[in-house]
Amino acid sequence: MPLDKTERPVRRAQARRASGAVALLAALVLLGGFLPLYWVYLLATAAISALVARSIGLVTNRVGIITLCQMSFAAIGGWVVSWLALAWPGAHFPVLVLLGGLAAGPVGLVIGAVTTRIRGAELAVVTLGFAAALDLVLRQWGFPGVGTGTPVLPSAPFSDPRWFFALAWTLLILLHLCLTALSRTRLGSGWSVLRASERSAAALGVRVVAAKSAAFGAGALVAGVAGGLLAGQYGLLTTAVFTPLSSMVHLATAVLCGASVLGGAVLAGLFTVLVPEALRRLGLPLDLGNIIFALGAFDVLRRGNGGIWEQLSAGLQDRAFRDVRAVCQPTARSRGVEGASECGAVARPPSRPPALQARGLGVRLGGHRVLDSVEVVVASGEVHALIGPNGAGKSTFIDAVTGFLPAYEGTIRVGGAPIDPLSASARALGGVRRTFQQSRVNGSSTVDEYLRLAAGSRSPSSIPLVRELFGLPEGRLPIRLMDAGSRRILEVAGALAARPRLLLLDEPAAGLDDAVSRELAAVLRGIPAEFDCAVLVIEHDMEFVRAAASRTTVLDEGRIVGSGPTSEILRDPRVIAAYLGKGGGA
Ligand SMILES: Nc1ncnc2c1ncn2[C@@H]1O[C@H](COP(=O)(O)OP(=O)(O)OP(=O)(O)O)[C@@H](O)[C@H]1O
């Protein structure tokens, strides 16, 4: 199948990265052939620690979940390899190690699935609880072979330390490539958005439970492989290697080094091994290393801009884009959409059901009635504005329609079909897309990565269309280099790239200068004709509303006070009293 223009540079970058990883591996294997055996042993341990760091880099650095049980997954891998080595003498060691990883993966999946409603510090405590419980169980059971003094003996040639070294680094690089490939799938590309905001992820159609569970599962598999390698390296395992405390030390090192990327994971592996080695040679207490890692990780978390390697690559990226345009310049003329219709309505067959129909919508939040028997109808092919003073309930209305409220009264139909039982991500996948008042796009993604995730696999062809319409900057630009207004426009472009049936925009023009705001209004007015999609837009700027919307509904204190053609509504004395009279920003 021919690749579209946005895919080609991505494939080229992937190929470059994969060949870089293979070249690194070849260099390491050569190095292992020449180094003294003591250093070969240390560097094999560094590769195993790098695997643990990479697994934490996925769950914590990438998805934003603090995990304190990664060494417990390693313990599961180590236990399974020790048991299999006894039960299946002569089995190929790499096969045993992979089986150790495959045993740990499902445990991670289950932990991810049962903890999806728990967040932040509470989730970290749950993972610590799991680590403590497994530690107790392992102390009781012990590792297979320890009782009888039968060590795990890796099969030839991996019984040779140099071959073992090569195996450890090969597995690190192969698993890194697998994680990179996984992060490009629909499931994995949601990981970085989850870190920025679960609400944004759900609004893009990311299935939050599945994405979080998959991250835990993949991380556990990688840590399980590390545990299996430790079984081969030590021969007999003890619980002291896998304590909750050692999970915390690995977490600190992974966060400090920026282990969401291979370079950061390798750095973390090297730190874990070389810092204690240096302290030992200097005659200093080994615990000093852990204190340094913990303080460094604390500083990284406090500043929130990534670990050492992540900052390094972000700095290089920012320098490369120093002179590149980083703002969005929507222009309706680019596709002639400004002439779609003076009033924004597109002629439709009369039989077509409304794009949105909210009947008797009531919402109570914190004991306060925020929406009361609200009725809103948005015809198909229409741009409809929802206006009202601050606190009128406009954003709450969008939250209800897009499935972001735990409960509401009344019914909501989209294209004539009720959507009330559907979750936020199911509504997004069904064609109901939204943007937020405060943009929560992940700044480390590039413009193209965000558009591909937002568009989904069903409509990648719409990406060039929205790119042109909204005047988006160069696709490889990291989003953190864009200002708040441009990020909001990018969110609108992403939502539209999914070719929704209904698009709900929460103050898309906030903070834009007048000229950009006017162009954006003209672009919105043309969306129904261009994309066969109805739009509901919240806005406080009445010039924008006049230019973009054919019909307008006014909310005040959770009740509808008027609805009709925009020009009439903005002249209605009741509306002027309820909204414009209160200094609503006309
Ligand atoms: N989680 C919540 N708990 C309690 N009250 C809430 C909650 N969320 C919103 N509210 C209240 O609901 C009311 C409506 O809020 P909403 O954000 O929908 O208004 P809005 O019309 O969008 O305002 P603005 O134009 O300022 O964005 C406000 O009084 C707000 O304080």
Evaluate: CB of 567 within 6 angstroms of ligand 1: no
Nearest C-alpha to atom 26 of ligand 1 is from which residue? 390
For the residues 81-85, what does the mean pLDDT come to?
95
User: Quick check: 579 pLDDT over 70?
Assistant: no
Evaluate: CB of 390 within 6 angstroms of ligand 1: yes
User: pLDDT tens, 43-81?
Assistant: 999 999 999 999 999 999 888 888 899 999 999 999 999
Evaluate: CB of 406 within 6 angstroms of ligand 1: no
Nearest C-alpha to atom 7 of ligand 1 is from which residue? 365
Q: pLDDT higher for 16 or 292?
A: 292
The confidence score (pLDDT) of residue 1 equals: 43
Determine the distance separating the centroid of ligand 1 and the alpha carbon of 396, expressed in angstroms. Answer: 6
User: Quick check: 2 pLDDT over 50?
Assistant: no
Evaluate: CB of 74 within 6 angstroms of ligand 1: no
Domain range 334-580, its CATH number among 3.40.50.300, 3.30.2010.10, 2.60.40.10, 3.40.1280.10: 3.40.50.300
- HSE-CB at 169 with a 13 A cutoff on CA atoms is 26
Residue with tokens 């909750």: 244
Domain ranges across the chain: 9-314, 334-580
User: Quick check: 13 pLDDT over 50?
Assistant: yes
The confidence score (pLDDT) of residue 547 equals: 93
Residue with tokens 């039968």: 150
* Of the candidates 98, 76, 42, the residue with the CA atom closest to the CA atom of residue 242: 76
User: Quick check: 583 pLDDT over 60?
Assistant: no
Q: Radius of gyration over alpha carbons of the chain, in Å?
A: 28
* Separation between Cα atoms, residue 563 and residue 570, nearest integer Å: 10
User: Quick check: 338 pLDDT over 80?
Assistant: no
For the residues 306-319, what does the mean pLDDT come to?
88
Q: What fold characterizes domain 9-314?
A: ABC transporter involved in vitamin B12 uptake, BtuC (1.10.3470)
Residue 535, beta-bridge partner list: 383, 503
The confidence score (pLDDT) of residue 343 equals: 45
Evaluate: CB of 500 within 6 angstroms of ligand 1: no
The confidence score (pLDDT) of residue 334 equals: 57
User: E strands, 24-174, where?
Assistant: none
505 near 488, Cβ under 8 Å? no
**ipTM of the complex model:** 0.95
The confidence score (pLDDT) of residue 475 equals: 86
Write down the pTM of the prediction: 0.83
The confidence score (pLDDT) of residue 426 equals: 94
Evaluate: CB of 585 within 6 angstroms of ligand 1: no
Determine the distance separating the centroid of ligand 1 and the alpha carbon of 391, expressed in angstroms. Answer: 5
The confidence score (pLDDT) of residue 11 equals: 61
User: Quick check: 339 pLDDT over 80?
Assistant: no
The confidence score (pLDDT) of residue 186 equals: 79
User: pLDDT tens, 532-548?
Assistant: 899 999 998 889 999 99
Written as six digits, the tokens of 513 are: 């200068």
Q: At 39, is the pLDDT very low, low, confident or very high (cuts 50, 70, 90)?
A: very high
Q: In CATH terms, are 9-314 and 334-580 the same topology?
A: no
Determine the distance separating the centroid of ligand 1 and the alpha carbon of 330, expressed in angstroms. Answer: 30
Determine the distance separating the centroid of ligand 1 and the alpha carbon of 394, expressed in angstroms. Answer: 8
The confidence score (pLDDT) of residue 257 equals: 95
User: Quick check: 294 pLDDT over 70?
Assistant: yes
Q: At 32, is the pLDDT very low, low, confident or very high (cuts 50, 70, 90)?
A: confident
Nearest C-alpha to atom 12 of ligand 1 is from which residue? 370
User: Quick check: 261 pLDDT over 70?
Assistant: yes
Atom of ligand 1 nearest to the CA of 397: 18
* Separation between Cα atoms, residue 278 and residue 283, nearest integer Å: 9
User: pLDDT tens, 369-428?
Assistant: 999 999 999 999 899 999 988 899 999 999 999 999 989 999 999 999 999 999 999 999
Q: pLDDT above 70 covers what percent of the chain?
A: 91
The confidence score (pLDDT) of residue 329 equals: 86
Determine the distance separating the centroid of ligand 1 and the alpha carbon of 509, expressed in angstroms. Answer: 19
